[in-house]
A and B are shown apart, each in its own frame.
Chain A
């Protein structure tokens, strides 16, 4: 079974802090994703990585950056956390091929910025 793990289930940070969210997958997947999930808005893609050190901006990259130094690990960084970044953050991974190769999600990190 594919396993995607995230470093924290719950996190509380103060405005202006630098925040690191870590994601690790154990199935040697090339693709990794960071989403945020907000009520009424669904999952929105923040960043996507298709290989080590490669990244693409998603729909809402502002205020975020990412790092992928190893294939299994994809980090999301909030350079200076703001209250509007309070959200559920979900990491996912997938094989690079199209078709039915669905994304596998981690359990999520609920981040509260006060």
Chain B
């Protein structure tokens, strides 16, 4: 079956570093996405990994190990505005008609940043 696991909640202090883990067991793999979703708002794209290793984008980095079925999102120099849910999503390798591969989402990790 398809399974994506993330911690439900995390808390961290402003200015600190936090790592949000995601483990997945899917029938296929064709890339992993991280999205940020503030309460009551649309998810917005943060990062994409398809090869093993670290992708860095400003204060945010994302890591992937395909052999371990594992990814993490690293947030540095935390700010209050980083309080949000972070969604891990795996792109399946079995395409729909029209060639598009669906995304399988984890339940999300709610991060609270406090002063």
- A residues contacting B by CB (< 8 A) are 4, 30-31, 35, 39-45, 48, 50-51, 54, 56, 58, 90, 94, 96, 98-100, 102-108
The contact of B107 among A31, A40, A96, by CB within 8 Å, is A40
B27-75 interface (Cβ within 8 A of A): 30-31, 33, 35, 40-45, 48, 50
Could you tell me the distance between the alpha carbons of A46 and B68 in the complex, rounded to whole angstroms?
29
B87: A residues at CB distance < 8 A: 42-43
Contact string, B79-107, partner A, CB cutoff 8 A, digits 1/0? 00000000101010000111111110111
The contact of B4 among A30, A42, A54, A58, by CB within 8 Å, is A42
Secondary structure call for the B interface: loop
* Of listed B31, B41, B98, residue having the most chain A CB within 10 A: B98
| B102 with A48: CB separation less than 8 A | yes
Could you tell me the distance between the alpha carbons of A66 and B30 in the complex, rounded to whole angstroms?
27
| A107 with B42: CB separation less than 8 A | yes
The contact of A105 among B30, B43, B91, by CB within 8 Å, is B43
| B100 with A100: CB separation less than 8 A | no
| A51 with B98: CB separation less than 8 A | yes
